[in-house]
Amino acid sequence: MNFLPTITTTEGSDWLTKVKEADDLGIEKVAVFPTCLDSDQRREMYLQLEKSSIKKIPFVHIRGDMELWEIEYFIKKFNTVIFNVHSSRQYDMNPELIKYKEIICVENHDGYIEKDLKNFGGACLDFAHMENEIMLSRVEEKVYFDILKRYPIKCNHISAIKDKIKVDNREISYDSHHLDELSELDYLKRYPLEFFSNHCAIELENSLKRQLEAIDYIKELLSFRDELIKKIF
């Protein structure tokens, strides 16, 4: 398992501040999620990334309407090895990107269906989405687990789960891209260690410093559980 602080671009996240913070902290490896930026904004982000301390971006969350050159840019410039995208049930995908289908994974949304995964490289398991959908009884846990046993999990998103339901634009959910308490990551203990990949992105709007604290907490959380399992068996 490898955990990556992440430069996100959702409404509550200032990506440029995070790039500058990476410089201040001397961070050389991150995940990048440019999914909420239009084409011109993404070009600006790429320029700022090139000027920063960041040398490697192993994992990138792409948009379905990105151009082929963007995928190849990340591979060549930042040694990106895995990408994820939303399923075609949510957004159409530029057919040119299929060239790299073996390293593009599909993120879960209202569970998974066979059609989501069969033409791509594997699953991008967003733990908070899964936990939220199970808590709201939108998808049965068994249904999730059954399909995840049949497809490789090559990357992950990790966000927070709140103890109280929240309402945003008429959407109700427990998952959040903002972490208040580290204990909002405790739900991860429920899931098998094999669900965690070598590319686990911390999908939080919080600062990179706070994300690094979250990474330390998750490692301790999973290490303790792993040791407990070994003692039992």
pLDDT at res. 169: 72
CA 6 to chain centre: 8
For residue 147, count CB atoms less than 10 angstroms from its CB and return exposed for 0-12, middle for 13-18, buried for 19 or more.
Answer: middle
Decide: helix, strand or coil at residue 7: strand
Partner residues linked to 56 by β-bridges: 29
pLDDT at res. 229: 44
Helix ranges restricted to H, the chain: 15-25, 39-51, 68-78, 114-117, 127-135, 141-148, 208-232
106 φ/ψ angles, rounded to the nearest 5 degrees: -100, 130
Q: Where are the domains of the chain?
A: 3-232
Sequence-ordered list of residues with C-beta below 8 angstroms from that of 211, at least 6 positions apart, any chain: 5, 6, 202, 204
pLDDT at res. 228: 46
pLDDT at res. 171: 81
43 φ/ψ angles, rounded to the nearest 5 degrees: -60, -40
Evaluate the CA torsion angle 207, 3, 98, 118 in order and state its sign: negative
Q: What angle do CA 221, 222, 223 make, to 5 degrees?
A: 95
Instruction: Identify residue 94 by its one-letter amino acid code.
Output: N
Task: Profile the chain (233 residues) by mean pLDDT over runs of 10 residues.
Answer: 95 94 98 97 98 98 96 98 91 91 94 89 97 94 93 97 86 94 97 95 98 97 64 39
| pTM of the predicted structure, to 2 decimals | 0.93
d(Cα 89, Cα 117) in Å, to the nearest integer? 12
143 φ/ψ angles, rounded to the nearest 5 degrees: -65, -45
Q: Class assignment of domain 3-232? A: alpha beta
Tell me the two tokens of residue 92: 């159409």
